Amino acid sequence: MKPITQPALAHPRPALPSRLARMLLLLCIAAPATALSSGPGEISFVIGQVRIIDAAGAVRAAEAGGSVVAGERIETGSSGHVHLRMVDGGYLSVRPGSRFLIEQYETVPGATAIRLRLDEGVVRSITGTAAREQKDRFRLNTPLAAIGVRGTDFVVQAGGEGVRALVNEGTIVVAPLGADCTAHTLGPCSGGSARELSDAMGRVLLELKGLQAPALVPIDGSSPDHFTPAAPQEPDTRKTSPIAAEAAIAAPFEPGDLKHPSRPPPQPPTPAQPEPSVTSAPGTQPADVTQLRWGRWANAREGDQLSTAVAEAREGRRITIGNNYVNLYRRPDDTRPLPAHLGQVGFGLAAGQVALVQGNGATSAGTVHGGRLDVDFAQRSFATHLDVSHALTGAVKVESAGGITSNGTFFVNRPDGLVAGAVTMDGTEAGYLFDKVVPQGVLSGTTLWKR
């Protein structure tokens, strides 16, 4: 199976342990979908070269806000990555070097029929309400195997030599295609060669080569002979992050990062003097930051005084970027593309929070001391630095620079960490999440900025 370059949305982790280091995800951009009028899927995010080929063979470039319909094939280049929000709330992430086909996507109650096909590459699927309510009407086929669901969130890699599958939440069933399991049917296949994989099994994936039955393969290098599934009441806290897990399936085989196809990034500026520490009351944010909100999926991490519940943060706003912990929501603005006339803008840090996430899943609060964000709207580029600290790490500097898309989002993933965020279309506010790899784990946090 050819190596897959680790793309955007992949959290690097510390060198110890090396594989765990890559399992913390990156970027998510996965939000509940709204009703779509032009097709079963809407393109919510695209980077690099991504093309869509319809049933008649016509080719068009994928664009954020565009739609996809049944019968259309998605092909991503070596740096291409696209996210789809489906009409029933499902989510699909197609990674670089992939060929993916939406064969059917019918969500009428009582007549659900969802059939997807991955010919090559990596795709992540979070099933929507239609598949969750009728699990026997969902199927993802590869050239060698059929995958049915008994859960919601999984990642598949397909290539000439085999298939690999990883589960973040729920359960899937992987079976080799053959007389007892054909690509024309829906739902999980049964029989002696079918194998289940669930999130309760810890850091393992299913691998199928040729016509062999799927086999468990540990991600952390431990022997599968000594693998024991966790008891239902004691879930494995080490399992892969649920929002960015598509990175984890490729990481054990080929590390790497997505290179932004833009001009060489500017160097992050050095402040004339240290900025003051930033604090905010729990569940609140600076009063003058009104267009952006951080919404978290679960309980707040220790020291997180910035985010609110997703349901509150998304009121009157739309998602921009996110990960398994938080999403950044922005008030909608019809200004497109990002206005170049704003020129170069310097943002001051309005609020920030950081936590140390260790390999065993433990988190503890750190401190954001100050920083700077410079955005060149004409050149669509940014540069930032951030000073953070933790009792176990001491002072650490987070630095990043790169391009900004026409819809105001940006993402840079490097071996030592990542930065992903968005600016408001009027150029007055910005926010980004960050991960900084340190020997003790990953310093993970969020920020808000004001011009």
The whole-number pLDDT of residue 334 equals 56
The whole-number pLDDT of residue 139 equals 94
Q: Do domains 18-250 and 292-450 have the same CATH topology?
A: no
Q: Which residues pair with 370 in a beta bridge?
A: 387
Q: How many Cα neighbours within 13 Å face the side chain of 226?
A: 4
What single-letter DSSP state applies at residue 356? E
Domain 292-450 belongs in CATH node 3.30.365.10: no
CB 170 within 8 A of CB 152: yes
Q: Which residue reads 């951080």 in tokens?
A: 294
The whole-number pLDDT of residue 371 equals 95
Domain 18-250 belongs in CATH node 2.60.130.10: no
Query: Tokens for 258?
Result: 């997505």
Q: Cα 197 vs. chain centroid, distance in angstroms?
A: 21
Identify the segments of the chain with pLDDT beneath 50. 2-37, 220-283
Terminus-to-terminus CA distance in the chain, angstroms?
Answer: 48
* Calculated CA dihedral for residues 314, 308, 437, 359, nearest 10 degrees: -110
Query: Tokens for 451?
Result: 């011009």
What distances in angstroms separate CA 187 from CA 90, 141, 246, 307, one per listed residue?
16, 10, 22, 38
Spatial separation of the C-alpha atoms in residues 241 and 297, rounded to whole Å: 12
The whole-number pLDDT of residue 270 equals 32
Spatial separation of the C-alpha atoms in residues 73 and 202, rounded to whole Å: 33
Model pLDDT for residues 224-242, shown as the tens digit of each residue = 322 222 222 222 333 333 3
Spatial separation of the C-alpha atoms in residues 205 and 224, rounded to whole Å: 10
What single-letter DSSP state applies at residue 380? T
Q: Cα 367 vs. chain centroid, distance in angstroms?
A: 25
Domain ranges of the chain: 18-250, 292-450
Cβ neighbours for 58, distance < 8 A, ≥ 6 positions apart: none
Locate all alpha helices (DSSP H) within 255-351, ordered by sequence: 310-313
Query: Tokens for 351?
Result: 């609020």
What single-letter DSSP state applies at residue 181? B
The number of residues making up the chain comes to 451
What distances in angstroms separate CA 22 from CA 93, 249, 265, one per listed residue?
18, 9, 24
The whole-number pLDDT of residue 324 equals 67
Spatial separation of the C-alpha atoms in residues 201 and 166, rounded to whole Å: 10
Spatial separation of the C-alpha atoms in residues 125 and 132, rounded to whole Å: 12
Q: What percent of the chain has pLDDT over 70?
A: 74
Query: Tokens for 234?
Result: 């004691």
The whole-number pLDDT of residue 365 equals 95
Angle at 294 between CA 292 and CA 298, to 5 degrees: 160
187-203: buried (b, 16+ CB within 10 Å) or exposed (e) per residue?
bbbeeebbbbbbbbbbb
Spatial separation of the C-alpha atoms in residues 205 and 218, rounded to whole Å: 6
Q: pTM of the predicted model, to two decimals?
A: 0.47
- The helix (run of H) or strand (run of E) holding residue 318 is strand 318-322
